[in-house]
Amino acid sequence: MINKNDFIEIEFTGKITDTNEIFDTNIKADAKSANFKTEGIKPLILSVGHKMLPKGFDNNLTGKEVGKDYEVNLKSEEAFGKRNPQLVRMIPTKHFHEQKINPVRGMQLNLDGQIVKILSSDRGRTLVDFNNPLAGKPITYTYKINKIITDQKEKINALQDFLFQQIFDYEVKEKTITFKVPKEAEQFIKMFSPKFEEILGLKVESEVVEEKKKPEE
Are 180 and 201 found together in one domain? yes
Domain that residue 183 falls in: 151-217
Q: How confident is the model at residue 217 (pLDDT cuts 50, 70, 90)?
A: very low
Note the pLDDT tens digit of each residue in 19-76: 999 999 999 999 999 999 999 899 999 999 999 999 999 999 999 999 999 999 999 9
Give 28's contacts (C-beta < 8 A, 6+ positions apart): 38, 41
Which of helix, strand or coil describes residue 100? coil
Are 24 and 69 found together in one domain? yes
Which CATH number covers residue 45? 3.10.50.40
Are 10 and 93 found together in one domain? no
- The string over 177-203, giving b where at least 16 C-beta atoms fall within 10 Å of a residue's C-beta and e elsewhere, is bbbebeeebeebbeeebebbeebbebe
Give 87's contacts (C-beta < 8 A, 6+ positions apart): 129, 130, 131
Are 142 and 58 found together in one domain? yes
Percentage with pLDDT > 70 across the chain: 96
Are 144 and 51 found together in one domain? yes
**Greater pLDDT, 209 or 145:** 145
Q: Is 99 exposed, middle or buried (0-12, 13-18, 19+ CB in 10 A)?
A: exposed
- Residue whose C-alpha is closest to residue 111's, from 101, 121, 119: 101
What's the confidence (pLDDT) of residue 14?
Answer: 97
Are 159 and 172 found together in one domain? yes
Q: How confident is the model at residue 188 (pLDDT cuts 50, 70, 90)?
A: confident
Which CATH number covers residue 124? 2.40.10.330
pTM beyond cutoff 0.85: no
What's the confidence (pLDDT) of residue 212?
Answer: 58
The whole-number average pLDDT for the span 118-124 is 90
Are 53 and 145 found together in one domain? yes
The sign of the dihedral angle between the CA atoms of 199, 202, 205, 207 is negative
Q: How confident is the model at residue 88 (pLDDT cuts 50, 70, 90)?
A: very high
CA 192 to CA 117: how far, in whole Å? 29
